[in-house]
Amino acid sequence: MERLNIILVVDDEQVIHETLDRIFEKSDFTLEHASTANQALEMIQRGYGTVLTDVRMPGMDGIQLLKRIKQLDPSLEVILMTGYASMESALLATKYGALAYLTKPFENPEVVKECVTRAVSLQRDHHKNEQLYDDVVKGRIDELPLGGKIQKIPFFGSSAQQISRHLAETLNDGLVFLDYDGVVTFSNIRFAITCNYPFLDILGRSFLDFVAQEDREHFMHSIGILLREGRCPTVELRLITRTDVEVFVLLNAVFLRDEQNRFNGIMLIISDVSQFRSVQRRLELLAQLVDRAKFEAILIYDENGKIIDCNQAASEMLGLSKGVIFGKNINSLLNVNEQEVEAKTTKALLESYVSRPDSSSIPVEIAISTIQEIDGNKYRGLAFVRDITELKKTERMKNEFIGSISHEIRTPLSIMKGTIDNLKDGIMGPLSAKQIGSVEVLNRNMARLIRIVDNLLDMSRIESHKMEFKPCAVDVVSLVGEIVTECQRVAQEKDILVESLLPEGLPTVLADSDLINQVVTNLLNNALRFAKTKIVVRGAVSSAEDGNDLRTYLPAGGHGALKRLDTRFVQISVIDDGPGIPKGRIGDLFNKFVQINRPEGGSGYKGTGLGLAICKEIIERHHGKIWAESDVGQGAKFHFCLPIIEAEL
Amino acid sequence: MTVKRKILIVDDEPDMVENTRLFLDHKGHEVLSAFDGEEGLRIARQERPDIILLDVMMPKINGYQVCRELKGDAETKSIPIIMLTAKAQESDKSWGKEVGADNYVTKPFEMNDLIQKIEDLLKNRVVTADRPGEQFSFPRNRL
């Protein structure tokens, strides 16, 4: 029987041997059995098609056995078997070169058979390649299976001396010959460069002189293996250069034999890997830092959005082990959609939530970084996910506080307002001109106080998402038209001309008309405060390509039968000829509690610094955009856009 | 010219009641006041005012409950009720409608706005009073 059809089974439990015997009873394979790893190592010299080994065994365990086998014969495939299947140990196993991982008890004998067949066929391929190589070198083959003849290989036609010299001079690795005492008898130039010694100083020196103190024992051990077993695994060592610099190298040691096949020394092949080593060190350090990052969960995903790595914090936040997280889709795990992710990759943070297995959910803030592949289409990404439970809680408390305080303030305010109204209306008897003046001051400031409280209430409602939002198809142009008409009286009192350039027949938008009314009124009131002579109100259709970085998304499942069919917007602009706003401060305009002091104008009226912030919230709620253009002395232009939405039939 | 009406105002804020009373009194109306829901119910049943101004947030029985009581009672169901609400939220408006209120004003309100709403409701009442039968209905079960 061919040795490759014999499988070595290593397990301390007799029942597993019996089970496997039954599984392979009527197959091409024969089994040989070992009950410990050490026994297996002794048997391995006989040659096997593959090795099936238990992981947990007394004495040497399966992982150690796997490592030893891979050192002795890298081409021999090993299959691990274990009673407890965990992703971690499976990953560990593949890291050390196991071909596969089987869980006991074997539920499906076919899987076991398939696994073994594959392992043996890999081993067979390997043997075949070795055989073919030998045939070619020894000139036993000259016909090629794909047609043509094997060319004369330059090396094999020349003398051994020539080959050796050519190799020694061109090899990018250090080449060192040692005699039986470990003294260097030959070195190529590459090695002299690596260890920075004059060539002649290398010859005749013990090789141990070049090896870092700490690694000498390790080196001797490897040479020991070589002498005992005929070959030894690649070892990683530090060499010490003449200038005392450590150089990381990979070292391969082989026997040298003379024509009579007698031992003639050792040849070392030495590759300088310090460059890779330092990159690897940095990567390892970075990976450790990423893994230990406490406050942010970090997820790395490939071009298909499949998660390929994550840190400990991610595993804790999601309540899932890393093994379970790997392979999941980043978008579904973070409850975001692809468009959102794409749009936010540049700067802004994305708010979302993650669901945990205990069916609780955590509000999170996500920052995305992506690396574009060279072809430009696919990208890999990194998602930083931060738990914002506390932040949300504080925000909610703040909103509730503002809400309840505002409410408490309204009651005394209403009473005071009533009293002032009564005084003003002469209900408490006729007032003198001076008294009327005082009541006017009271009245004006009462109005201001009420406005502040109303704005605070609005803001807290919007931020706590308690704002009533009932969108329907709205002819925004006629809505704006009505508001413009309403403000004409006040404008005339101030000698300001309000020009309305609102074309008829613009498409309808999906909007809550009360809220849009609030926005337009606010913009017009602002304009009336600052305009010198003229205000222009404009309406137009604009498209996303018009610039202004308009990005809107269909609200996820939000508006029932209404569907966005158009990528265009209705744009409303309110333009005044007032003192304008310094360009650098435009960005602040829509922030809460910010008031830009515009030179001149605006006398007697003080805002709350909330008006535009409320406008922004309202417009964004509509998936629209609001922005301003201005500079000192150039008036101010305020624009907002609402997406055109048509009802789906 | 305005007809002299009997107006009941129910609010737990005495200053609020006083302001409104002064104003309505000045306009030539007779004003009754109550400072909580129970008292409001009692006076409404006793005095049969032409219209009731009813605050929402009151101790013991709130305005919605008072409104529901009065609107569920055949004796008082025809008296128009204006809710005085501090919140301008949609939910409050619809809840007011639910319990049968005829209109509402949001605090702080303009006195003139209030008197306008009062006049509108009483005008309507005259119209409906012209059509007997509308005023008649079988006593409904209390809600």
SS3 track for A625-646: EEEEEECCCCCEEEEEEEEECE
Containing A299, the helix (H) or strand (E) segment is strand A296-301
For chain A, say whether B23 makes contact (Cβ under 8 Å): yes
Q: A421, A423, A443: best mutation site toward chain B, by most B Cβ within 10 Å?
A: A421
Q: Given CA atoms A535, A539, A540, A544 in this order, what sign does their dihedral have?
A: positive
Q: What DSSP state is assigned to residue A384?
A: E
Question: For B85, which residue in chain A has the nearest alpha carbon?
Answer: A411
Q: Which residues, 6 or more positions from B42, have their beta carbon under 8 angstroms from its beta carbon?
A: B34
Q: Looking at the DSSP assignment, which residues form a beta bridge with residue A350?
A: A366
For chain A, say whether B13 makes contact (Cβ under 8 Å): yes
- Contact between A150 and A136 under an 8 Å Cβ cutoff? The reply is yes
β strands within A125-192, DSSP E:
174-178, 184-187
The tally of CA atoms less than 13 A away on the side-chain side of residue A76 is: 26
- Provide the pLDDT for residue B38: 93
- Contact between B56 and B92 under an 8 Å Cβ cutoff? The reply is yes
Distance to chain A for B66, nearest Cα, Å = 20
| ipTM (interface predicted TM) | 0.71
CB atoms within 10 A of CB A648: 11
Residues of chain A contacting B, Cβ within 8 Å: 407, 410-411, 413-415, 417-419, 421-422, 425, 427-428, 450, 461, 468, 470
Fill in the amino acid letter for A628.
A
Among all chains, which residue has been given the structure tokens 């790395």?
A300
Phi, psi of A437 (to 5 degrees): -55, -45
Q: What is the pLDDT of residues B99-110, one digit of tens each?
A: 888 988 888 888
The tally of CA atoms less than 13 A away on the side-chain side of residue B86 is: 24
- Contact between A406 and A453 under an 8 Å Cβ cutoff? The reply is yes
Could you give the C-alpha distances from B70 to B11, B66, B121, B140, in angstroms and in order? 16, 6, 17, 11
CB contact under 8 A, A421 and B107: no
Euclidean distance between CA atoms A439 and A117, whole angstroms: 99
CB contact under 8 A, A418 and B26: no
- Contact between A626 and A638 under an 8 Å Cβ cutoff? The reply is yes
Euclidean distance between CA atoms B136 and A475, whole angstroms: 44
Q: Looking at the DSSP assignment, which residues form a beta bridge with residue A510?
A: A473
Smallest CA-to-CA distance from B63 within B85, B48, B87, B90 is with B85
- Provide the pLDDT for residue A567: 63
Q: In Å, how far from its chain's centre is CA A607?
A: 43
The tally of CA atoms less than 13 A away on the side-chain side of residue A411 is: 14
Which tokens belong to B52? 């009731």
Smallest CA-to-CA distance from A56 within A69, A65, A68 is with A65
CB contact under 8 A, B111 and A421: yes
Fill in the amino acid letter for A51.
V
Sites in chain A below the pLDDT cut of 50: 546-565, 599-604, 647-649
Which residues in chain B touch residue A427, judged by CB atoms under 8 angstroms apart?
22-23, 26
- Provide the pLDDT for residue A78: 92
CB atoms within 10 A of CB A625: 21
Helix (H, G, I), strand (E, B) or coil at A7: strand
Q: Looking at the DSSP assignment, which residues form a beta bridge with residue A385?
A: A297, A366
Q: Which residues, 6 or more positions from A396, have their beta carbon under 8 angstroms from its beta carbon?
A: A464
- Provide the pLDDT for residue A449: 86
Distance to chain B for A430, nearest Cα, Å = 13
The tally of CA atoms less than 13 A away on the side-chain side of residue A571 is: 20
Which tokens belong to A143? 């016909």
For chain A, say whether B130 makes contact (Cβ under 8 Å): no
Euclidean distance between CA atoms B106 and B111, whole angstroms: 11
CB contact under 8 A, A419 and B15: yes
Q: Which residues, 6 or more positions from A617, have their beta carbon under 8 angstroms from its beta carbon?
A: A459, A462, A463, A467
Q: Given CA atoms B81, B86, B87, B91 in this order, what sign does their dihedral have?
A: negative
CB atoms within 10 A of CB A293: 15
Q: What is the pLDDT of residues B24-79, one digit of tens each?
A: 998 899 999 999 999 999 999 999 999 999 998 888 888 889 999 999 999 899 99
- Contact between A57 and A50 under an 8 Å Cβ cutoff? The reply is no
For chain A, say whether B33 makes contact (Cβ under 8 Å): no
Phi/psi class of residue A221: alpha, beta or left (left: φ > 0; alpha: ψ in -120 to 50)?
A: alpha
Among all chains, which residue has been given the structure tokens 């109204």?
A421
Which tokens belong to A316? 């804790």
- Contact between A361 and A385 under an 8 Å Cβ cutoff? The reply is no
On the question of a cis peptide bond just before residue B108, with omega within 30 degrees of 0, the verdict is: yes
Long-range CB pairs of A389-395 (<8 Å, 24+ gap) are A389/A362, A389/A363, A391/A363, A391/A365, A392/A363, A395/A463
Which tokens belong to A437? 């003046």
Distance to chain A for B137, nearest Cα, Å = 37
Q: Looking at the DSSP assignment, which residues form a beta bridge with residue A574?
A: A537, A638
Fill in the amino acid letter for A518.
Q
pLDDT band (50, 70, 90) for residue B87: low
DSSP string covering A40-77: HHHHGGG--SEEEEESS-SSS-HHHHHHHHHHH-TTS-
Phi, psi of A295 (to 5 degrees): -90, -20
Euclidean distance between CA atoms A235 and A604, whole angstroms: 84
Q: Which residues, 6 or more positions from A157, have their beta carbon under 8 angstroms from its beta carbon?
A: none
Q: What DSSP state is assigned to residue A545?
A: G
Euclidean distance between CA atoms A341 and A349, whole angstroms: 10
Residue in B20, B89, B90 closest to A418 by CB = B20
On the question of a cis peptide bond just before residue A579, with omega within 30 degrees of 0, the verdict is: no
- Contact between A508 and A473 under an 8 Å Cβ cutoff? The reply is yes
Phi, psi of B51 (to 5 degrees): -155, 155
Euclidean distance between CA atoms A177 and A263, whole angstroms: 13
Supply the Cα-derived Rg of chain A in whole angstroms: 40
The tally of CA atoms less than 13 A away on the side-chain side of residue A543 is: 4
Q: Which residues, 6 or more positions from A285, have their beta carbon under 8 angstroms from its beta carbon?
A: none
- Contact between A231 and A206 under an 8 Å Cβ cutoff? The reply is no
Whole-structure pTM value: 0.47
Question: Crossing angle of helices B37-47/B63-72, nearest 10°?
Answer: 30
Euclidean distance between CA atoms A123 and A64, whole angstroms: 21
Which tokens belong to A648? 């789906």
Strand order in the sheet with A184-187: A184-187, A174-178, A263-272, A246-257, A235-240
- Contact between B11 and B32 under an 8 Å Cβ cutoff? The reply is no
Question: Crossing angle of helices A611-621/A433-463, nearest 10°?
Answer: 40
Phi, psi of A78 (to 5 degrees): -120, 135
Which residues in chain B touch residue A411, judged by CB atoms under 8 angstroms apart?
13, 16, 86, 107
- Provide the pLDDT for residue A563: 42
Question: For B22, which residue in chain A has the nearest alpha carbon?
Answer: A427
